[in-house]
């Protein structure tokens, strides 16, 4: 948080995102946040794709949520955020052909005033990010332990 100078944390209200936000960033609610973070918000806009959004013709509500998220992001006074959400949401929003791994940390820049798409290369493959988004790069990959301890 300190190195990236994160000013605000926004996360999905779903349990896994709340737990990830708390575990990785020390932030879950406005009263439960890291000292360096000014604000924490739980956003319904960041929910995982709903069942109706998976069926043909249902994608418009997801597209609307993503557009509303971009509008919300552009209205915030802070400039550096940590956004905790779900891989299918980010895959759709950034028009990628892969999902982020669980607990992976990615950095991407958003400029609400941009009117152009921007290219980036991820693991040797070129992508064109949607208007406003640029400089996508992985910062951290979570490696699952070979064995998961069990309680006796």
The answer to whether 59 touches 53, Cβ cutoff 8 Å, is yes
Predicted local distance difference test score (pLDDT) of residue 151:
65
Per-residue model confidence (pLDDT) at position 103:
83
Average pLDDT, the chain: 88
Q: If pLDDT is split at 50, 70 and 90, which confidence band does 1 have?
A: low
Q: Categorize the per-residue pLDDT at 147 as very low, low, confident or very high, splitting at 50, 70 and 90.
A: low
Q: What is the Cα–Cα distance from 95 to 89, expressed in whole angstroms?
A: 10
Is residue 141's pLDDT more than 70? yes
- Confidence at 56, pLDDT banded by 50, 70, 90: confident
Q: Which whole number is the average pLDDT over 58-77?
A: 92
Per-residue pLDDT, 11: 93
Average pLDDT over residues 31-41: 86
Question: Beta partners for 119?
Answer: 128
Tokens of 110: 């958003």
As a 3-state breakdown, the chain gives helix, strand, coil percent values, each rounded to 5, of 30, 25, 45
Q: What is the pLDDT of residue 108?
A: 95
By residue count, the chain amounts to: 152
Over range 39-46, report the average pLDDT. Answer: 93
Question: Are the C-beta atoms of residues 112 and 72 closer than 8 Å to each other?
Answer: no
Q: If you average pLDDT over residues 112-120, what whole number do you get?
A: 94
pTM for the full predicted model: 0.84
Is the per-residue pLDDT at 100 higher than 60? Answer: yes
Between 71 and 148, residue with greater pLDDT? 71
Residues sharing a CB contact under 8 Å with residue 115, sequence separation 6 or more, in sequence order: 131
């Amino acid at each position: 948080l300190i190195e990236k100078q994160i000013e605000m944390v926004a996360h999905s209200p779903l349990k896994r995102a709340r737990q990830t936000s708390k575990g990785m960033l020390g932030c879950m609610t406005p009263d439960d946040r890291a000292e360096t973070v000014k604000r924490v918000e739980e956003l319904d806009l960041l929910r995982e794709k709903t069942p109706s959004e998976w069926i043909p013709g249902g994608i418009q509500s997801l597209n609307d949520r993503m557009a509303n998220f971009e509008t919300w992001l552009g209205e915030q006074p802070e400039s550096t955020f940590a956004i905790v959400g779900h891989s299918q949401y980010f895959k759709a929003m950034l028009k990628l052909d892969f999902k982020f791994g669980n607990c992976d940390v990615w950095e991407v820049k958003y400029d609400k005033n941009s009117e152009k798409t921007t290219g980036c290369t991820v693991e040797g493959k070129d992508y064109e990010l949607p208007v406003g988004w640029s400089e996508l790069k992985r910062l951290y990959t979570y490696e699952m332990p070979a064995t998961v301890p069990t309680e006796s």
